Structures are given as structure tokens and as C-alpha cells.
């Protein structure tokens, strides 16, 4: 075997080892970046839902108090507003997401009117 062939074989082996190391490092880096991006999007969605709930409970609910004496309004429930805004974001996003907030007495999105004033 000529000397040039031996050098080419050694250089090819070194190149393949370097390529394998680079692939391993980049794969780990890409996975970590993807994980961080998903967590960041989840944080943004949760903060948005919490902000919507806070806005509804502090700003919207007091405005609807007089109307709620006569009829139930789901817009006065903070979880309803958060779920509605999350649904709107989900419709506009290519990513499928669901949000469920657990409660002791869940209120359906369309509660039937009772016909009597709420007390």
C-alpha cells in the first residue's frame, strides 16, 4: 500500500470520529433548545391565562354584578375567560393545546338560566 493511501485512510478515520462527536454534541444541544422552547411557550400560555383570570376577577366581574342578580353570566367567572382566551389562541396556533383548570364545583360554559335572581 502506498503512503498516500495510508494517509487518506487515517484522515478519513479522524474525519469520521470528528463527525460523530459533532453529531452527538449537536443532537444534545438541539434537544435541549427544543425542550427550553417548549417550556417557554408553556410559561407564556400559563401567564396569559393567569393574567386573564386576574383581569376578569378584578375588572369585569364588578361590572357584571348588577346583571348577575337577574341572570347567570359565564363571563363573570375567571376560569371561563381564561379558557375562552386559550381557545382563541389555540385556534390561531398550529400547535394543539388543551387547558383544564380543576375546581370543586365546575361551571359549564353554557349554564342554563334559572329564571330567578341569584342570591
CA 10/CA 17 separation, integer angstroms: 11
Query: Which triple of cell numbers denotes residue 60?
Result: 369585569
Instruction: Please tell me the predicted confidence (pLDDT) of residue 13.
Output: 96
**Residue 102 counted as domain residue:** no
**Residue 105 counted as domain residue:** no
Cβ atoms of 52 and 85 closer than 8 Å: yes
Instruction: Please tell me the predicted confidence (pLDDT) of residue 105.
Output: 61
> What H or E segment, with its residue span, contains residue 34?
helix 3-55
103 Cβ contact partners less than 8 Å away, ≥ 6 residues apart: 79
Any alpha helices (H) in 56-118, and if so which ranges? 61-68, 78-92
**Residue 113 counted as domain residue:** no
Cβ atoms of 76 and 56 closer than 8 Å: yes
**Residue 119 counted as domain residue:** no
Instruction: Please tell me the predicted confidence (pLDDT) of residue 72.
Output: 82
**Low-confidence spans in the chain with pLDDT less than 70:** 93-119
Task: Check residue 68 and give left, alpha or beta (phi > 0: left; psi -120 to 50: alpha).
Answer: alpha
23 Cβ contact partners less than 8 Å away, ≥ 6 residues apart: none
Instruction: Please tell me the predicted confidence (pLDDT) of residue 119.
Output: 46
User: What residues make up the domain containing 58?
Assistant: 3-89
**Residue 79 counted as domain residue:** yes
Instruction: Please tell me the predicted confidence (pLDDT) of residue 95.
Output: 64
**Residue 97 counted as domain residue:** no
**Residue 59 counted as domain residue:** yes
Number of domains comprising the chain: 1
**Residue 117 counted as domain residue:** no
Instruction: Please tell me the predicted confidence (pLDDT) of residue 10.
Output: 94
Amino acid at each position: 500500500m502506498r503512503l498516500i493511501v495510508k494517509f487518506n485512510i487515517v484522515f478519513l478515520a479522524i474525519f469520521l470520529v470528528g463527525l460523530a462527536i459533532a453529531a452527538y454534541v449537536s443532537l444534545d444541544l438541539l434537544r435541549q433548545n427544543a425542550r427550553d422552547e417548549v417550556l417557554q411557550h408553556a410559561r407564556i400560555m400559563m401567564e396569559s391565562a393567569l393574567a386573564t383570570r386576574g383581569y376578569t376577577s378584578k375588572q369585569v366581574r364588578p361590572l357584571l354584578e348588577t346583571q348577575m342578580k337577574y341572570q347567570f353570566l359565564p363571563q363573570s367567572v375567571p376560569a371561563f375567560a381564561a379558557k375562552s382566551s386559550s381557545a382563541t389562541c389555540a385556534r390561531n396556533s398550529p400547535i394543539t393545546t388543551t387547558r383544564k383548570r380543576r375546581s370543586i364545583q365546575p361551571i359549564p360554559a353554557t349554564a342554563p338560566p334559572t329564571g330567578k335572581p341569584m342570591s
